[in-house]
Chains A and B, each alone.
Chain A
Amino acid sequence: MPKNTDFEPVILGFLCNWCSYRAADLAGTARIHYAPNMRPIRVMCSGRVDPQFVLKALREGADGVLIAGCHPGECHYVNGNIKTLRRFLLLRKMLEQLGLEPQRVQLVWASASEGKQLAEAVNRMTEEIRALGPLRWPEFLARETTSEATMEAA
């Protein structure tokens, strides 16, 4: 299927206050340029990311959702990120059953010193979603009527 080259994916990022938000700060401070497609929202811990937030973001038109937290074993709140991982795997399974490509919802670990790694993750995810094309859940839900035909046509 030919892809729209003008398509700029919109990715919502949930960054934990202690590691990944700081990693994004560091990427900026170090002037590491990366895709401007990820729009960050700060949460205290990746464990705060309610699966509803992800669904809400996709519902509101995001093409993908990135959840970033501290590395396992380095969570500021001992093991919040492990709970994130657990929820994430279940959520992704559910989303897969809805037909969502797994690349659209990603979980990455980035410590406060890993600005470069976070920037690379954003770049990689942006390109993966660009290749997949827009998600268009809101339009889909607005039209309601025909399902797959609409998606294809879009």
Chain B
Amino acid sequence: MQHKPQEKPRIGVYICHCGTNIAGTVDVEEVARWAGELEGVVVARDYKFMCSSLGQDLIENDIKEKKLNRIVVAACSPLMHEKTFRGACQKAGLNPYFFEMANIREHDAWATDDKTAATFKAKALVEGAVNRVKFHMPLEPIPVDINPNTLVVGGGIAGITAALELANAGYHVYLVERSPSIGGHMAQLDKTFPTLDCSACILTPKMVDVGQHENITLLAYSEVEAVEGYLGNFTITVRKKARHVNEDLCTGCGICIEKCPRKVIDTEFEAGLGYRKVIYRPFPQAVPKYPVIDTENCTFFQRGKCRACQIFCPTKAIDFDQEDELITFQVGNIIIATGYDLFDARRIPQYGYGRLANVFTSLEFERMVNAAGPTGGRIVLRDGVTEPRSVAIIHCVGSRDKNYHEYCSKICCMYSLKFAHLVRERLPDAEVYNFYIDIRAPGKGYEEFYHRVLHEGAHLIRGRVAEVTDAAREPGEEGKLIVQVEDTLIGKQRRIPVDMVILSAGIEARKDSKEVAQLFKMGCDFDGFFVERHPKLDPVATMTEGVFIAGCAQGPKDIPDTVAQGAAAAARVAGLIHQGTVLMEPVRAYIHEDLCSGCRICNNLCPYNAIVFHEDRQKSEVITALCQGCGTCVAACPSGVISGAHFTNDQIFAQIEGVLWDVRAKATAPS
């Protein structure tokens, strides 16, 4: 058995008012008075703000003067202030694990307005903590060395920013990108709101920096296959997909692309509007510069003939036999910046995308209006020649809609206004209609941009579009797309005939975000976005130590916010690397070998393979470095000889008894 402190418990109990947050619902004086009478309690006080330095002084002084050896604070969630009070204990010379917190704010005072019930529940939680703390044992945090390398997953602007920040700080980064080039969605955009600077012009220098940086190992056209380990020591396995181009030999001259006889529709970079060769670079400024063979469409791979690229390659870099490569490396931290998918507008059939030729998605329009895009920047209908004389832009497609996504995608209002501006710029005679629910322009220069577009003569119509149809009712509607909408500002149904409709599709989580979350042991919210440690105060950390998130993978956001998050995640990682070692919670399982029967039930339960079985001694052992402290083996051991530090059976049984003090009292009282 683990040694139990022989000393008699001398417990100090502190009930926090938290201003009126707790005291407004819980009778804190009564709880303190009552706690003072519990067995083992030497002092019980209530105080306005226990987390204040005065509150902490109170604990420290009592520990010293009254020789307390156990501390209970009833206040907010331990996730909020457990560290604070452990620190106070430590300062006064008490092992910080002789501390227990009762959550009477989030779990009690804030969850009811019934004062009697809240006070009652507070007493139960306090008694649970008092009972539990008696069984606490001194523990020492486990130091973990931090490997200075970092894995960044996703080569969009979030991942690029994070990688560059860390690389510039002198730390090595592995940047893994699924597609053949980094750049992400931002590389596809034409102009960026509200400044209208060219997206590629501001992005490509950063891409080049990534490609050339001595501290960055760029693994494009690669995917993370396995993640093992924990903060400081992750082992990553990446599958580098075969490009069928030898990167050591390829100079990126592009002759192979020129000579490739086969063209296919480019559904990725050009959003289906343009063509690309079968051996291709997604776009001219791609980083890395090496092309990739699309084996599904390649004549050689499908029919064994052609070899045009191989014949013409001046450096003999084409390698049809190249195979996927598995690369394994060690990192200390991980930043996930896997970005977003655009909402599939086909899911809203009444808007006609995929059925009505001249209904476009926002990404298609981005490519169309881009000077380097498939139409050379000309705004034309699906026939490729006719310029539209009227354009409808429908906001909130797939967002702010209970049938699809309830949340606001944040960027669509602004890019829709940008579209309105671009249409007016390229086709000054065209009429532009923006159909919006509300205009959301919260950002530096955003509101000003909205007014600019208004003054340029775009028609803004407030109302959710019911339908886009080609069924004309009047002669003026013949051959047009008719947008049926209730204009809520004038309270009238309107039918507006236009030549082109652009659907401003919202942001949604990547289709495989759940799998990615599982791979990296992160949480995923209902919509599929990764969950941050704290929505306000810790927006780039996750519940998993050493795994950080940035960009739209965490939730919809625009480029400035994405860049800020990328840099923030990098700063968090740099801080950890700089510390060199971090202290981990000593919540670990331990097998009392003398008592272990060698049944091996625990062996297969451990999700981390942290339990080894010694054949010679017929005993199991927990490898502390691998154990994460979940306690599932502790619960399963039929002999009860595995203890989970800080969550021992003794502690939890004692807490159960304490929490149920009133019903126990009732049961034992003579009836």
Q: Nearest Cβ in chain A — how far from B642, in angstroms?
A: 11
Q: What would 28 A/B residue contacts be, using CB atoms closer than 8 Å?
A: A18-B523, A28-B108, A28-B109, A33-B113, A34-B112, A36-B108, A36-B114, A36-B118, A40-B107, A41-B128, A41-B656, A41-B659, A44-B647, A45-B632, A47-B631, A48-B632, A48-B644, A51-B635, A53-B656, A62-B660, A80-B630, A83-B632, A111-B531, A112-B531, A113-B523, A139-B667, A139-B671, A142-B668
- A35: B residues at CB distance < 8 A: 112
Known: A18-B543, A60-B663, A80-B607. A48 touches B630 (CB 8 A): yes
Chain B, interface size category, equals 35 or more
- A133 → B minimal CB distance (Å): 14
Report if B514 contacts A (CB, 8 A): yes
The one of A53, A112, A119, A138 that contacts B543, using a Cβ cutoff of 8 Å: A112
Contact partner, A53, options B105, B608, B652, Cβ 8 Å: B652
Contacts of A25 in B (CB 8 A): 77, 79, 103, 106-107
Cβ of B609 to closest chain A Cβ, rounded Å: 11
**Closest CB-CB distance, A117 to chain B, in whole Å?**
10
| A57 contacts B by Cβ under 8 Å | yes
Residue B54, interface by CB 8 Å: no
Count chain B CB atoms within 10 A of each CB in A10, A56, A61, A87 and give the residue with the most: A61
Q: Is B521 an interface residue (CB 8 A)?
A: yes
**B453 at interface by CB-CB < 8 Å:** no
What is the CB-to-nearest-CB distance from A149 to chain B, in angstroms, rounded to a whole number?
A: 16
Known: A18-B523, A39-B659. A50 touches B128 (CB 8 A): no
Distance in angstroms from A25 CB to nearest chain B CB is 4
Contact between B656 and A33 (Cβ–Cβ < 8 Å)? no
Known contacts A36-B117, A61-B664, A77-B607, A27 near B111 by CB under 8 Å? yes
Partner of A60, one of B118, B544, B649, B657: B657
Asked if B652 and A138 make an inter-chain contact with CB atoms under 8 angstroms apart, the answer reads no
Contact between chains at B632 and A138 (CB < 8 Å): no
- Chain A contacts of B659 at CB under 8 A? 12, 39, 41
A73 touches B110 (CB 8 A): no
Task: Name A78's contact: one of B111, B521, B649 (CB within 8 Å).
Answer: B521
Q: Given A39-B125, A44-B587, is A113 in contact with B667 using a C-beta cutoff of 8 Å?
A: no
Report whether A45 and B523 are in contact in the complex, using a CB–CB cutoff of 8 Å.
no
Q: Which of B124, B543, B607, B631 contacts A39 (CB 8 A)?
A: B124
Contact with A along B78-99 (1 / 0, CB 8 A): 1100000000000000000000
Residues A77 and B630 in contact, CB atoms below 8 Å apart? yes
CB of A120 within 8 Å of the partner chain: no
Beyond A18-B523, A60-B656, is A33–B663 a contact (Cβ under 8 Å)?
A: no
C-beta contact mask, B467-503 vs A, less than 8 Å → 1, else 0? 0000000000000000000000000000000000000
A44 B667 Cβ-Cβ under 8 A: no
**Does A31 count as interface, using CB distance less than 8 angstroms?**
yes
Judging by beta carbons under 8 Å apart, are B666 and A61 in contact?
A: yes
Given contacts A52-B649, A61-B663, 7 further A-B contacts (CB under 8 A): A33-B112, A36-B114, A41-B652, A57-B660, A74-B524, A77-B630, A78-B607
Give the bracket for the number of chain A residues in contact with chain B: 35 or more
Contacts of B518 in A (CB 8 A): 73-74
Residues of A39-72 contacting chain B, CB below 8 A: 39-45, 47-53, 56-57, 60-62, 70
The chain A residue sitting closest to B517, CB to CB, is A74
B282: shortest Cβ distance to chain A, in Å?
Answer: 32
Q: Which residues of A contact B103 (CB under 8 A)?
A: 25, 40
Interface membership of chain A positions 70-106, coded 1 if the CB is closer than 8 angstroms to chain B and 0 otherwise = 1001101111100100010000000000000000000
The complex places the Cα of A87 from the Cα of B471 at a distance, in Å, of 60
The 8 closest A-B pairs by CB, nearest first: A61-B663, A28-B106, A47-B632, A48-B631, A138-B667, A78-B607, A77-B630, A28-B110
A47–B106 touching, CB < 8 Å: no
Pick from B526, B607, B634, B664: contact of A48, CB under 8 Å: B634
Within 8 A of B (CB), among A107-148: 111-114, 119, 136, 138-139, 142
B647 contacts A43, CB within 8 Å?
yes
Is residue B121 within 8 Å, beta carbon to beta carbon, of the partner chain? yes
0/1 interface trace, chain B 216-231, chain A, CB 8 Å (1 if under)? 0000000000000000
Interface centre among B107, B125, B514 (most CB of A within 10 A): B107
Q: Do B663 and A10 touch across chains, with their CB atoms under 8 A apart?
A: yes
Verify if B272 is at the interface (C-beta below 8 Å from A): no
- Bound state CA distance, A114 and B526, in angstroms? 9
Known: A25-B107, A74-B524. A45 touches B631 (CB 8 A): yes
Contact at B106–A36, with CB atoms within 8 Å? no
B407 close to A (CB within 8 Å)? no
Q: Check B324 for interface membership: any CB of A closer than 8 A.
A: no
Indicate if A4 sits at the interface (CB-CB under 8 A).
no
**Contact yes or no, A12 B523, CB < 8 A:** no
Distance in angstroms from B296 CB to nearest chain A CB is: 31
Contacts of B128 in A (CB 8 A): 39, 41
- B111 and A33 form a contact (CB under 8 A): yes
Chain B residues closer than 8 Å to A70, beta-carbon distance:
523
Beta-carbon contact of B110 and A29 below 8 Å: yes
Which of A8, A10, A25, A70 gathers most chain B CB within 10 Å?
A25
Beta-carbon nearest neighbor of B652 in chain A: A53
* B497-555 residues at the A interface, CB under 8 angstroms: 514, 517-518, 521, 523-526, 531, 543-544
Q: Chain B residues near A10 (CB, 8 Å)?
A: 660, 662-663
Given the known interface contacts A12-B656, A76-B544, the answer about A28 and B663 at a Cβ–Cβ threshold of 8 Å is no
Q: Which residues of A contact B587 (CB under 8 A)?
A: 44
Q: How far is the CB of B509 from chain A (nearest CB, A)?
A: 13
Q: Does B9 contact A (CB under 8 A)?
A: no
B653 within 8 A of A: yes
Cβ of B631 and Cβ of A112 under 8 Å apart?
no
The answer to whether B69 has its CB under 8 Å from any CB of chain A is no
Q: Is B388 an interface residue (CB 8 A)?
A: no
Residue in B112, B531, B644, B660 whose CB lies within 8 Å of A36: B112
Would you give the 0/1 interface string for A1-43, flagging 1 where the beta carbon is closer than 8 Å to chain B? 0000000101010000011011011111101111110011111
In the bound complex, CA of A73 to CA of B663 (Å): 37
Expressed in whole angstroms, the Cα–Cα distance for A114 and B663 within the complex equals: 30
Residues in A with CB closer than 8 Å to B265 are none
Inter-chain CA distance A17–B523, complex, in Å, is 13
Q: Give Cα distance in the complex from A17 to B325, angstroms.
A: 39
Task: Give CA–CA (A113, B528) in the complex, Å.
Answer: 12
Find the A residue at minimum CB distance from B78: A42
Chain B residues with Cβ under 8 A from A76's Cβ? Answer: 521, 523, 543-544, 630
Known: A77-B607, A112-B543. A24 touches B106 (CB 8 A): yes
Name the interface residues of B630-655: CB closer than 8 Å to any CB of A.
Answer: 630-632, 634-636, 644, 647, 649, 652-653, 655
Can you name the residue of chain B whose Cβ is closest to the Cβ of A42? B78
Q: Quick check: is B584 within 8 A (CB to CB) of the other chain?
A: no
Cα(A32)–Cα(B657), bound, Å: 28
Q: How far is the CB of A44 from chain B (nearest CB, A)?
A: 5
C-alpha gap A49/B655 in the complex (Å) = 13
- Closest approach, in angstroms, between the C-beta of A20 and any C-beta of chain B? 11
Q: Which residues of B contact A42 (CB under 8 A)?
A: 78
Bound complex: CA A87 to CA B108 (Å): 29
